[in-house]
Amino acid sequence: MSTDTADVATATGSIRNPVLAGFHPDPSILRVGDDYYLATSTFEWYPGVRVHHSRDLVHWRPLGGIITERRLLDLRGCGDSNGVWAPDLTYHDGEFHLVYSDVASFASGYWDPQNYLITAPDIAGPWSDPVKLHGRGFDAALFHDDGASWLLSMSADWRPGRDRFGGIEIQQYDRAARRLVGQPRILFTGSPVGVTEGPHLYRHDGWYWLITAEGGTSWEHQVTVARSRDLFGPYEVSPDGPLLTSVDRPELRLQKAGHGSLVRVPDGGWYLAHLVGRPYSPLGNCVLGRETAIQRVDWPSGGWPRVPGGVPAEEVAAPDLPPHPWPPEPATDHFDTPELSPCWSTLRRPATADWVDLRSRPSHLRIHGGQSPVGRRAPSLVARPVGATHCALETVVEFDPVDHRQLAGITAYYNTLNWHHLYLTRADDGRTVLELLSSDNGRRTPYPELTVDASGVSRVGLRAVFDGPVVRFAYDLGAGWRQLPADLDATILSDEHAAMIIDGEPAAWGFTGAVLGLWVQDLGGDGVHADFDLATYREHDSPPDR
């Protein structure tokens, strides 16, 4: 959300949704004193588990991610939309607890999930070495109750003919021993909607309240609420239907509403953080991916919680808290700091100095080249989520390739199979050239007629623009900006386009969202690097200048 929009929201006492635009799914919301935190999924991207901070639920600032080291999670070889799923952030006995799932597969009903727990005295760390929990299912979450802690997760069932979402299971976690104890048991098998996952448990008004995601992560998604007087059930599903959903409401701007968690504010009111998607057309592709929104919850004493109308609202009454705006994020990153800004993410490997270098050349980001677009162990892509339908990333690069195996440039990217890339490379005749290449589900399309001679130019400006369903690229060789005459399909950079079902089984899935990034490839392993002088990201309410 832009700072201008946030200021208007505070002035009118409103939260404007989504509060975290672009690739920020599966929110876990937490209040610690006067501070509110949102932790979201990151899948194959580092740092893992992005965290945002607020003091009024209106203004949010990025704190970066928590999983910054391979010590905490190794994503080498991670598949598209695998990796970090549905983190859970809690606070108990003076410590932050983060539970996250590392999911390794989709095929044939096998997920191969592994759940981990790390702790820290402060949200900024330092974080402990991970405790290896179970691998029986994903979306794991902790519940602290009367001195005991309990781990919940969905219970996966790989067996053919069985419900793969076998219910929500619970097992005690011994914080002192840092291990699970006792036997797991099924707590809840879900409502008739099915696909029951994303559990969060709360104790309120003499009841245990179980919040789950159901219906899958697309148009049928919903938040289900159930309650029991006893921790282990039985749990009764709300007679009022889902707490929140967009199902059968294609006219709503916010779709895919589901996967929520609750937070209580000082005056006793409640709010629900949840994921949404904003399709470019009714039930069309969601290029911005799955985003985070917040809804007010009415919860009368003795009654069931209810989101007004049961649907996601774009504007919600904010809690009665002092407005707390943060300094605006600069549009231009001059790469003047020794570490990457929290707005950036890196693909499948942490931003370590061996390939992301902010020190060797002051005020420049030096990226050492990595693998090809399909390489899953050491790619060299530094990117940020696309947060608006109209936005642009602009950079200046210095790069001296010696052959066609060395490429550096700017990209509009979704995953290994879906991207657009404008890059500098060396042609067979020895010229340095700008080339454009697209990949649509792995089918690559070159545009040789658009090749630009960049010989003798040491600094090249590159720009990638999202203009609704179109991506456009431009370049500056020193004589002003020139647009390449190609309108590329932005909708291939979406969850819906990335998903592939073959014979009823998911061969690929899409859970992330489009990003804009700086990409360097060294396909010969010759040690090449590119220097980026700056990067400017801007969002526009209307189409940006072409």
pLDDT greater than 60 at residue 27: yes
Do 353 and 247 share a structural domain? no
Residues labelled as active-site residues: 26, 197
List the beta bridge partners of residue 325. none
Q: What is the mean pLDDT of the chain?
A: 95
Question: pLDDT digit string (tens) for 275-310?
Answer: 999 999 999 999 999 999 999 999 999 999 999 999
Residue 5: its H or E element: helix 3-11
Residue 327 lies in a domain: no
Q: What is the pLDDT of residue 509?
A: 85
Asked if residue 480 is part of any domain, the answer here is yes
Q: What does DSSP assign to residue 105? A: -
pLDDT of 40 above 80? yes
The domain that holds 98 is classified in CATH as: 2.115.10.20
Boundary residue ending a domain (269, 284, 317): 317
Same domain for 125 and 188: yes
The C-alpha angle with vertex 267 and arms to 264 and 271, in degrees rounded to 5, equals 30
Q: What is the CATH number of the domain that holds 463?
A: 2.60.120.200
pLDDT at 323 over 50: yes
**Does the pLDDT value for residue 436 go beyond 90?**
yes
Residue at which a domain ends, from 261, 291, 317? 317
Q: What is the DSSP letter of 109?
A: G
Q: Look at residue 544 and tell me if it is in a domain.
A: no
Considering the domain architecture, whether residues 485 and 351 belong to the same structural domain is answered as yes
pLDDT confidence of residue 541? 66
459 with 375, same domain: the answer is: yes
Q: Does residue 4 surpass a pLDDT of 50?
A: no
| Structural domain contains residue 323 | no
Q: Is residue 89 part of a domain?
A: yes
Say yes or no: 216 and 349 in one domain: no
Q: Which of 317, 341, 357 is the last residue of a domain?
A: 317
Does the pLDDT at position 540 exceed 90? no
- The residue that leads in pLDDT, 56 or 109, is 56
Task: Looking at the structure, tell me whether residues 55 and 27 fall in a common domain.
Answer: yes
Q: What is the largest CA-CA distance in the chain?
A: 78
Q: What is the mean pLDDT of residues 375-381?
A: 98
In a domain, residue 126? The reply is yes
Give, in order, the Cα–Cα distances in Å from 173 to each of 95, 182, 270, 337. 15, 9, 27, 40
What is the pLDDT, as a whole number, of residue 500?
Answer: 81
> Given a cut of 70, is residue 508 above it in pLDDT?
yes
Counting the structural domains of the chain, the total is: 2
Alpha-carbon gap, residue 283 to 457, rounded angstroms: 45
Same domain? 166 vs 232: yes
286 and 338 housed in the same domain: no
| Domain identity same for 282 and 378 | no
257 and 200, same structural domain? yes
Q: What is the mean pLDDT of residues 458-475?
A: 98
Together in a domain, 250 and 357: no
281 and 374, same domain (yes or no): no
Averaged pLDDT, 210-233: 97
DSSP string for residues in 457-495: -S-EEEEEEEETTEEEEEEESSS-EEE-S--EEGGGSSH
DSSP 378-419: S--EEEEE--SSEEEEEEEEE----STTEEEEEEEEEETTEE
Residues of the domain holding 435: 332-539
Query: 0.85 cut: is pTM over it?
Result: yes
Q: Report the percentage of the chain scoring pLDDT > 90.
A: 93
Is 326 a domain residue? no
Mean local confidence (pLDDT), 87-102: 98
| pLDDT range class, residue 247, cuts 50, 70, 90 | very high
